[in-house]
Amino acid sequence: MPQLLTVDTDARTVGNVQMFVGGEWVAAASGETFAAVDPSTGETIAQVPRGGEADIDRAVAAAKAMAVEWQFTDAVARAALLRTLGGLIAANAEELAHLEAMDSGHYLAKARELIGALPLWLDYFAGLADKVGGRTIEVPGNKLDFTLLEPLGVTAHIVPWNYPLLILARSTAPALALGNTCVIKPAEQTSLSTLRYAELVQEAGFPDGVFNVVTGFGPEAGAPLAAHPDVMGITFTGSVETGKAVAKLAADHVAQVNLELGGKSPMIIFPDAELDDAVEATVQGFCSHAGQVCVAGSRLFLHSDIQDAFLEKLVERLKTAAVGDIYDDSTQMGPLVSEEALERVTKYIEIGKLEANLLYGGGKPQGTADGGYYVEPTVFTDVSNTDRIAQEEIFGPVLSVIPWSDEGDLLTQCNDSDFGLFAVVFCQNITKALNMAKRLQVGGVMINDWFGELPMSPHGGYKQSGTGREEGLETVHGYTQVKHVSVNLDGSLRAGSDWSGAPL
């Protein structure tokens, strides 16, 4: 099969691409396209179809037409296709990494790491296909009572731009494994790796219509997908505001929703913490992918006794953090994803200067390309937990340092947030660390470590950080519904004592 999407790494271009609907590579019904931009340079690298409602209708119809056949395809066959796909991802990892880097701003070494890990997700979720099921239930009388775990049907997957392939795989792989068909709407900033992934889906041999991709903008393609009455499950990862809009559209046709939204994760440093480890985790926490991570540890609760020593080490470490082009081997942090993102983060840095004390950064890193969307790692100290830079999700490399000294007050402040995605505790006293883990109102806690996403562990948020869980066995609930079956084993309706003479 000829490859439709080609990457020229020297010219840093991809060319014109098409989207994948019902097993065919097509332009948007309107014929319109939009530009994919390399955030390292600000240059256009591809023209992408600008999908709209007509394209969504076509994709959902294709997915619906295949829903029953895919549901009744042997689970082992569905699993085998997912494993084949995992193998093709491994075989094409270098190209996928370049696409992910050029389109989303992940520096190449990181993109290679991310894509290198991806087959693990395919393998884990393939394993679910023939291992999860319903249960038998003990009821009174001579009956066989059991449940069947069945797919939802057509599922929609609205994906953000920060980890395009990881987030695509972590929701579509379990959906497919459990017998659902999929319509994907990648973020408008990052369509390219998803389209290459779709080529690999086709090459793996998935039947036409099982996996469909419509590219385009949120209000034009995402909203009609979420609103489509034939879509029975929606997985959305992105901002709280858009997540609420998607949930409202889903409510109109009572579709099940999984929402993975924002965060303002506390990084909590106790006075007995291993300082070098805690400093490194802090840097990873707010600088990974330039802070454009939903779990980003953007609120640093630092014990007053160690504040000076910690901040000195933090500044020294930040001086060594190389910010630059995705293709530079020394780069440890790339650009923000778009001009709009740069404007938003710059606005928050100005707010921070009014609310708190700027300790480090705040500007454009030296030596970065003029057209790229770069910002320095930025640290504010003397932040109050009620400040905007401590309460609002900035989605950039900006850290708010909040001093603490009383443990009860610390917990109150950590939980005083609309978000509840994730928290990190650095503390050698395991009793204290576990007490924090138990009382923090968040969906995930790391102790003496920084976040590493894995397919085996559930991921999701409390409060406005979301509903439902991705990954782990918990993800099964997001892509299945329960059917209850009861069988009368007496052979005759009236033979059972509970029916004879029963009132109508």
Provide the annotated active-site residues. 260, 294
Binding to ligand ADP in span 116-175, by CB under 6 A: 158-160
Residue from 71, 239, 441, 448 in contact with ligand ADP (CB under 6 A): 239
Taking CB under 6 A as the binding criterion, the range among 6-14, 108-116, 242-250, 473-481 that sits at the site for ligand ADP is: 242-250
14-18 contact pairs (CB < 8 A, 24+): 14/45, 14/46, 14/99, 14/102, 14/192, 15/46, 15/47, 16/46, 16/47, 17/46, 17/47, 17/48, 17/49, 17/191, 17/192, 17/195, 17/215, 18/49, 18/195
Looking up tokens 């300790």 gives: 359
Dist CA 375 CA 395 (whole Å): 12
Tell me how far, at minimum, the Cβ of 230 lies from ligand ADP, in Å: 16
Tell me how far, at minimum, the Cβ of 237 lies from ligand ADP, in Å: 7
Tell me how far, at minimum, the Cβ of 35 lies from ligand ADP, in Å: 15
Residue from 50, 106, 185, 303 in contact with ligand ADP (CB under 6 A): 185
Tell me how far, at minimum, the Cβ of 482 lies from ligand ADP, in Å: 28
- DSSP per residue, 119-186: HHHHHHHHHHHTT----EE--SSSEEEEEEEEE-SEEEEE--SSSHHHHHHHHHHHHHHTT-EEEEE-
Binding to ligand ADP in span 199-238, by CB under 6 A: 217-219, 222-223, 226, 238
Of 38 and 220, which has the nearer Cβ to ligand ADP? 220
Tell me how far, at minimum, the Cβ of 167 lies from ligand ADP, in Å: 10
CB-count burial class (<10 Å; 0-12, 13-18, 19+) for 74: exposed
Number of chain positions touching ligand ADP (CB under 6 A): 17
Q: Which two tokens stand for residue 125?
A: 């979720």
Dist CA 196 CA 356 (whole Å): 45
Taking CB under 6 A as the binding criterion, the range among 37-45, 77-85, 239-247, 295-303 that sits at the site for ligand ADP is: 239-247
Residue from 90, 117, 132, 245 in contact with ligand ADP (CB under 6 A): 245
**Counting contacts by CB under 6 A, is residue 478 touching ligand ADP?**
no
Residues binding ligand ADP (CB under 6 A): 158-160, 185, 187-188, 217-219, 222-223, 226, 238-239, 242, 245-246
